[in-house]
Amino acid sequence: MIKLNIKLKLITTIVIFLCCQAAIGQQGASTCNTCGYGHYVNLAELSITDSSYQKAYNYYDSAFQCISSPFAKDRYNAIVCSAILGYYDNCKTGILYLLGKGLKREMISDNEAFKEFLLSESGKWILDLKVDPTYNIILRGVYDSIIKADQSFRLKDRLHSFELYKDSILKIDAGNVKLMNELIRKYGWPTEDLIGIESLYTQGYELIIIHQRSKRYKVYDFTEDLKIAYNNCLISANKAQFLIETINGTDSCKVLDAGVVTIVYDSLGTFKNDNLLSFQHKTGFIKLSENKMKEVDINRKKSGLESLDEFRRKIIFSLKDKRFLIQCYGGNSTWTYPVKADYDFNDNILISY
């Protein structure tokens, strides 16, 4: 019976893998346990919030056994743990890997966690080394050109671009979606291995997906593509769910405003992030009922995410300790309200942290 179950599981895995490949031509990972990966990364990050760096290091090691290519943010946090623990050889290996994927050297030089490592024999010359790219630089250039086109008219007038240049924006968006889908079919999903790192959180191609959130103007729905990418360990759970909920206008997992939320009363539409103190505002967590919290946590677990309380615990930590990169999507949101009654309503549902 055990052998039969194993055989059936193997057949199911092969069928799913082949279907995914046929659907959008994505590259599959030879080792892919999305649930195990997310579980251990969450434990690692929670250990970091407790300053238990050896535990975090061990949990990252377990997580990295679950998929063939761990995500850059998690690799980075793991090497921060290595530096703090004095595991300098491992730290060096990890840094060289990330530099090959395009990591900015300032992420090492400006992080106090690497101070002692950079003075050691293993690290003192590392930032002077020439590290060749280990991703497809030509393909990356194509994706960069897509993003440049995406932003060309939107940057002309950030507040009113769609009103002024709607036809041009929609035409460019449609062309970008078509080109991105052609690239995915030919080369696979734009992973960090394939096109390198722009930042340790977000990639430029996400804009192409996000701009398909309008039901009226949508030319392609990336939802199934994102699910397949996640199931094949090509995209992290938090990124996949953020993009899915953004383009579908849902919030079953509260990924859009799970963390710290700042509300701003902006009657004239003149708010910018650098002039917050000039506006009436409040910052906190959105208050949810006990039943709603349970419902959200069930949905988050199904999507491979940590509980809301765990997420918020890590967000609070990240506001204080800048050595690690813990969360981004939905971690720190700002919402503006031109109507005072709407601002007051949301003021009443924010709780301090």
Q: For residue 70, is it within any domain?
A: yes
The better pLDDT of the pair 8, 280 is held by 280
pLDDT for 231 equals 96
Residues 237 and 145 in one domain: yes
Residues 315 and 244 in one domain: no
pLDDT for 201 equals 85
pLDDT digits (tens, 9 = 90+) for 83-107: 999 999 999 999 999 999 999 999 9
Residue 336 pairs in a beta bridge with: 264
**Does position 264 have pLDDT exceeding 80, yes or no?**
yes
Nearest C-alpha neighbor of 205 from the set 226, 230, 231: 226
> Which of the listed residues 128, 146, 162 is the one where a domain comes to its end?
128
What does the buried/exposed string (b/e) look like for 142-159 if buried means 16 or more CB atoms within 10 Å of the residue's CB?
A: ebeebbeebeebbeeeee
Q: For residue 13, is it within any domain?
A: no
Cα 64 to Cα 40: distance, rounded to the nearest angstrom? 9
CATH number of the domain to which 76 belongs: 1.25.40
Q: Which of 14-23, 69-78, 119-128, 249-258 has the lowest mean pLDDT?
A: 14-23
Cα 80 to Cα 47: distance, rounded to the nearest angstrom? 13
**Does position 268 have pLDDT exceeding 80, yes or no?**
yes
Q: For residue 157, is it within any domain?
A: yes
SS3 call for 173? helix
Residues 239 and 148 in one domain: yes
Nearest C-alpha neighbor of 35 from the set 293, 306, 251: 306
pLDDT bucket at 352, cuts 50 / 70 / 90: confident
Measure the CA angle with vertex 255, ends 195 and 342; round to 5°.
Answer: 130
In whole numbers, what is the pLDDT of the chain averaged over residues?
A: 89
Query: Average pLDDT, stretch 331-338?
Result: 90
Residues 240 and 197 in one domain: yes
pLDDT bucket at 26, cuts 50 / 70 / 90: very low
pLDDT bucket at 221, cuts 50 / 70 / 90: very high
**Does position 18 have pLDDT exceeding 60, yes or no?**
no
Amino acid at 241: Q
> Which of the listed residues 248, 274, 309 is the one where a domain comes to its end?
248
**Does position 15 have pLDDT exceeding 80, yes or no?**
no
pLDDT for 332 equals 87
Residues 151 and 242 in one domain: yes
Q: For residue 15, is it within any domain?
A: no
Going across the sheet that includes 281-286, the strands are 332-337, 260-265, 281-286, 350-351
**Does position 14 have pLDDT exceeding 60, yes or no?**
no
Report yes or no: 237 and 231 within 8 Å, Cβ to Cβ: no
Cα 152 to Cα 154: distance, rounded to the nearest angstrom? 6
DSSP string, 213-241: --TTT-S---HHHHHHHHHTTSS-HHHHH
Amino acid at 23: A
SS3 call for 312? helix
**Could you tell me which residues come within 8 angstroms of residue 107 by beta carbon, excluding any fewer than 6 positions away?**
76, 200
Residues 156 and 235 in one domain: yes
**Could you tell me which residues come within 8 angstroms of residue 229 by beta carbon, excluding any fewer than 6 positions away?**
26, 189, 235, 240
Dig out the tokens for 71 from the structure. 């995500």
**Best-predicted range by mean pLDDT (51-60, 153-162, 270-279):** 51-60
Q: What are phi and psi of 281, to 5 degrees?
A: -155, 165
Q: For residue 207, is it within any domain?
A: yes
> Which of the listed residues 193, 223, 248 is the one where a domain comes to its end?
248
Domain, as residue range, for 144: 137-248
How many structural domains are present in the chain? 3
**Does position 21 have pLDDT exceeding 60, yes or no?**
no
pLDDT bucket at 9, cuts 50 / 70 / 90: very low
Residues 306 and 228 in one domain: no
pLDDT digits (tens, 9 = 90+) for 53-82: 999 999 999 999 999 999 999 999 999 999
DSSP state of 87: -
**Best-predicted range by mean pLDDT (13-27, 46-60, 150-164, 253-267):** 46-60
pTM of the complete model: 0.87
**Does position 16 have pLDDT exceeding 60, yes or no?**
no
Report yes or no: 268 and 243 within 8 Å, Cβ to Cβ: no
